[in-house]
Structure 1
């Protein structure tokens, strides 16, 4: 397991905070553009970072980004190493047995990406006999195991999105499944444009893919209503749309 990195970056001191201690916001240590990734100086940037800053300002809390290995991020929350998960985590019934979720703050479909001209379709028929790559401990892994594992030649799991994208570009897997925005960022990169294409979104399954992305908190955390109030407030006053326009040309909030 990767070491948990504690980095006090993107900190906001915001007058009289409602909570005495800084709120440790856990993000996956692995880059996940355009949502969260470290820049050349090691500072965290991206849509979720800008969104977090707006939420913490609205809620009048001091927030500190705390990078945490994705596959250990829920245990890090429940053990108190972090206070909130903000890492494009889908709101699912299975996860809600262990943690609480805020209201959603974005919702985008999952897509299948393949080598150009593969002829693969984003369904069991198209993926029969194929090697499929997915990031471990994600809704995409759970979806692939339910719908495609029985027909695929192999389901390969990876610690990061970058790793399965690299294997797709190298021809070591036939297809990968991921969030449409994250995969679109890959397809617009030099490596992605050279090799690969989206073949479309998979059929929705809200039970597995969730009801959008939200903040994750420990059960009963009193911070939850403050975060929900802040999400509603920045949606209403235009801040959410202003942030999103810096990254997307469509409504990321979704249905």
Structure 2
């Protein structure tokens, strides 16, 4: 490790996990990460980026690590991950006048939108090929298409989708409480690099889990 801060990228609009508000990095995953690096004695510099740019920050050298990124078999071929910071899940969102389906199979032959960056699109293509899947740029486009009636449902991270829907379309979108895909989020680095950083992060994660700090942060955000 060097004396230079570790540059860590995060999505600038991924509430409640990470976002940029009034020039400051905030969110559940950000608070957990701050506690981890404080415990591990790691100096970091946050690099907020747009949704579609998040994984590119490692390839183009803007950052040494990225979080929170969901762990998938495909991504494990490209990245090494820390231990899990926080767990979410993918859920189905519909217009308020509709009833959210419990399962993907209920949407066979219907249009479902989801962002192209992330694990949800490949999962739907593999497990529910009868769905007419339309990939979008980001959460905002997916929800916009849903509200305009261009799709029967949007497949999104439950926590992130709920926050963005409430902000952009209050009262117009409902989410299913049933999650069809578990999404464990962690810190990602380019495969084969930064092994020492991951080891120190994992030690910090274990420490805040052991003394209850991790639980306290989660409980705080549960009421936000």
Same fold (TM over 0.5): yes
Contact kept in structure 2, 1:35 and 1:46, CA below 8 Å: yes
| Equivalent residue number for residue 229 of structure 1 | 203
- Report the Cα distance in structure 2 between the residues aligned to 1:119 and 1:35, rounded to whole angstroms: 27
Q: 2:38 aligns with which of 57, 78, 94?
A: 57
Higher mean displacement: 73-82 or 233-242: 73-82
CA–CA distance in structure 2, aligned partners of residues 216 and 190 of structure 1: 29
Determine the C-alpha separation between the residues in 2 that align with 1:48 and 1:237: 18
Tell which deviates more after alignment, 115-124 or 233-242.
115-124
Q: Is the 1:33–1:46 contact (alpha carbons within 8 Å) kept by the matching residues of 2?
A: yes
C-alpha root-mean-square deviation of aligned residues, in Å?
2.2
Whether the 8 Å CA contact 1:19–1:61 is kept in 2: the answer is: no
- The structure 2 residue matched to 1:118, chosen from 87, 91, 98, is 98
State the match for 2:8 in structure 1. Answer: 25
1:97 matches 2:62: no
Unpaired runs of 5+ in structure 2?
Answer: none
Match of 2:130 in 1: 151
Counterparts of 1:69 and 1:38, CA distance in 2? 10
Alignment partners' CA distance in 1, 2:34 and 2:99: 43
Please, what TM-score do these two structures have when normalized by structure 1? 0.78
Richer in strand (by share): 2
User: Is the 2:80–2:188 Cα contact (8 Å) retained in structure 1?
Assistant: yes
1:83 aligns with 2:64: yes
- Count of residues in Structure 1 that have an aligned counterpart in Structure 2: 221
Give 1:172 deviation, angstroms.
2.2
Equivalent residue, structure 2, for 1:185? 163
Which residue in 2 is equivalent to 1:240?
Answer: 214
Normalising by structure 2, what TM-score?
Answer: 0.88
What's 1:12 paired with? none
Which structure 1 segments of 5+ residues have no match? Answer: 1-17, 250-255
Any idea what SS the aligned residue of 2:120 has?
Answer: helix
**Which residue pairs with 1:108 in the alignment?**
88
Aligned twin of 2:54: 73
* Residue pair 1:120, 1:127 contacting (<8 A) in 2 also: no
Q: Is the 1:77–1:83 Cα contact (8 Å) retained in structure 2? A: yes
Which residue does the alignment assign to 2:193? Answer: 220
